[in-house]
Structure 1
Amino acid sequence: MIHNQLKVAIHAYSDELTELRRKLHREPEVSWEEVKTTQFICEYLEGLGIPYRRTEPTGVIADITGGKPGKTVALRGDMDALQVEELNQDLPYASMENGKMHACGHDAHTAMLLIAAKALNDIKEELPGNVRLLFQPAEEVAEGAKMMVEQGAMEGVDNVFGIHIWSQMPTHKVSCMPGPSFASADLFKVAFKGKGGHGAMPHDCIDTAIVASSFVMNVQNVVSRTIDAQHPAVLTVGKMTVGTRFNVIAENAFIEGTVRCFNPETRDHIEKQLGHYAEQVAAIYGATAKVEYIRGTQAVINDEYSAKLVQKVASEAFGEDVLYNEKPTMGGEDFSFFLDKAPGSFALVGSGNPKKDTEWAHHHGKFNIDEDALATGAELYAQYAWVYLND
């Protein structure tokens, strides 16, 4: 089922794959600033003779046209870095940009997709269909995938596949289960208005420090007491700004947080309850509340056919013991916007290795990957495309 030449090619290109990843790691660019990264990808594709077009303001869509008619499968790799200080300064490929680093593995995703494209391009005359390559910007702000869809990334696509390097899984392991994979990720903001005054005269005031504190404590009941326990959800208050001075009653309080879940009805319920709790808590103290709920990424739900195809491909390419059952994560992924347009799946490829100190959490300044996982990801991209088009 898998194509042996793809396996041979990925192995032959493994040194180049590592160098590509290291170059990208040294030169990180955050969301919507991936100008040099976009240019590098374009030049690399030009060298392979693969036609492409840029998306605005950053990003690349490319197509490998097969020698035979057939379906179109899209492969997605994101490319943006984070505003995180690199703490691995002893690495020869450490970030050269202060306060910026590839702390989530997107450098690996881009490198893997480039090499997968190179290997697929070698056998394009055998392909019964087409492979679309999506080099996506701005995943970290949950905007890049939606932008690419709006600019035609999914037009004519029958199936879409993505990969994320995963430091919480052992190197080489592959997880792709049907159903929920990543949660929806929303942002909420609450502004409380009270009545300020002297810290020695609280009876003349409406203290929003008390209002906000009460809200933070009580709003957790939305998850623990109003949602079916079999529908997991997370509601986190991550930021609270209250008051201006130690002896002044706070007139204003501002809260920001995030909501994560897999079920659309649960998502709607939490949004409604947030408004209800904010208004009722404010009313108890005589304050007012204004709530803003911003929907970010949707839940990533793996199509059953596609997920099982990933498992089948991984088993044949690397052996059945490569399969791993990673539980769904409450992390967010804007890959969901591609899944709105075509069925597909999103796989995790393990890169955690305690001997190489690569088990740090994503978004941490010490995050790094076991580069032995790169070839696994690159081949999985390529073999999935080949098998899907031939299935």
Structure 2
Amino acid sequence: MINETIKNAIQENSEEMVAIRRKLHSEPELSWEEYETSQFVFNYLTELGIECRKTEPTGVIGTLKGGKEGKTVALRADMDALSVEELNVDLPYKSVTSGKMHACGHDAHTSMLLAAAKALVGVKDQLPGSVRFIFQPAEEVATGAKAMVEQGAVEGVDDVFGIHIWSQIPSHSVACNPGPSFASADIFKVHFKGRGGHGAIPQNSIDAAIIASSFVMNVQSVVSRTIDPQQPAVVTVGKMVVGTRFNIIAENAEIEGTVRCFDAETRDHIEKQLKVYADNTAEIFGGTATVEYIRGTQAVINGEESSELVRQVAAEAFGENVVYDEKPTMGGEDFSFYLDEVPGSFALVGSGNAEKDTQWAHHHGKFNVDEEAMATGAELYAQYAWAYLNK
């Protein structure tokens, strides 16, 4: 199942891969702004002799056709950075742009997939099929994958595989359990309307602050009292804007939050209940409520055959001890839009190493990657493609 030529190529090109990652890390670009990054990727693939095209506005799709007929497997990496101030002050390759940072590992994903592409070119003649390389923008705003799908990223693809560097599990470990992996991630916004007035004369007003506060406290019972406790779900209110002055009773209140779950029926139920709770809470106090519910990513559900193949590849390539059982996360990932179209799976490659200070949570200003673990990710990409096409 494991191709030794691929393994050797990854090791031989590991320094170049790390250098590319450091370049990308120092030059972060936000979602839908990945112009320099995508041009670098396009040029690199073109120099490898891989047929590639750009998608609008900042994606890249490459296709490596093997020497034999067969299926097509797609490998995906995301490229965008975050609006985060980097706190790694002594890092020689820290972000050169204030307020922008690769705080989630997408710089590593892009570098690993480029290294995998280079390794697969070396076994091109023996490949029974084709490998599609998807370099995706705008994962952080959950719209990039959908746009790539709409522009043909998985047309003719039989299986899709993605990787996320994961600082919360030990370096070099590989986790890819069948079933739920990442939760669906939705946004809700609620506007409560009351009647403003003087803070000393509350009887003549309808206090939007009271309405909003009551909603925030009561809405948690949607999860705790209306959903099967064996169906995980999270409702989080992350933002509340209410009032204008210390002695004025608020007329308006704005609330924003997120809903995370793995089950479609649970998702539908929570959406309906948020409106019920908002309307009823507002009515109690004499106000009104308007609810906007925005569906984001679907839940990432790993296919059984694909995830089992990942685990087999990891065990054969790196040893049984690297295969790691990680619990599903309530984090969101727009890789789900690819899995809506074709079978596949999404793996986590460990990068957590306290000795190297790479155990920080994703999206934190001190997030960093154990660069030695990138070789594991790059080889997993390439060996998975080889194993899938040869199975």
Q: Normalising by structure 2, what TM-score?
A: 1.00
**TM alignment of 1:56-75, pairs within 5 A:** 56-75=56-75
Runs of at least 4 residues off by over 3 Å: none
State the SS of the aligned residue for 2:183.
Answer: strand
Counterpart-to-counterpart distance in 2, 1:233 and 1:192:
25
TM-fit CA distance, 1:383: 0.1
Show the counterpart of 2:288: 288
Counterpart-to-counterpart distance in 1, 2:335 and 2:359:
24
TM-fit CA distance, 1:345: 0.2
- Which amino acid is 1:178 matched to? P
- Which amino acid is 1:187 matched to? I
Counterpart-to-counterpart distance in 2, 1:233 and 1:136:
28
Counterpart-to-counterpart distance in 2, 1:103 and 1:46:
28
**TM alignment of 1:95-244, pairs within 5 A:** 95-244=95-244
TM-fit CA distance, 1:357: 0.5
TM-fit CA distance, 1:301: 0.1
**TM alignment of 1:1-391, pairs within 5 A:** 1-391=1-391
Counterpart-to-counterpart distance in 2, 1:33 and 1:273:
37
TM-fit CA distance, 1:49: 1.1
TM-fit CA distance, 1:104: 0.1
TM-fit CA distance, 1:306: 0.1
Counterpart-to-counterpart distance in 2, 1:346 and 1:174:
11
State the SS of the aligned residue for 2:330.
Answer: strand
- Which amino acid is 1:176 matched to? C
Counterpart-to-counterpart distance in 2, 1:265 and 1:42:
41
The runs of 5 or more residues in structure 1 that have no matched partner are: none
State the SS of the aligned residue for 1:99.
Answer: coil
State the SS of the aligned residue for 1:329.
Answer: coil
State the SS of the aligned residue for 1:83.
Answer: coil
CA RMSD between the two structures = 0.4
Question: What is the number of equivalent residue pairs in this alignment?
Answer: 391
TM-fit CA distance, 1:188: 0.1
State the SS of the aligned residue for 1:239.
Answer: strand
State the SS of the aligned residue for 1:331.
Answer: coil
TM-fit CA distance, 1:253: 0.3
Counterpart-to-counterpart distance in 2, 1:87 and 1:51:
39
Identity of aligned residues (%): 73
Counterpart-to-counterpart distance in 2, 1:134 and 1:280:
46
Note the alpha carbon deviations across 1:306-340, whole angstroms, 9 max, x for none: 00000000000000000000100000000000001
Q: Normalising by structure 1, what TM-score?
A: 1.00
Counterpart-to-counterpart distance in 2, 1:151 and 1:371:
32
- Which amino acid is 1:155 matched to? E
TM-fit CA distance, 1:122: 1.1
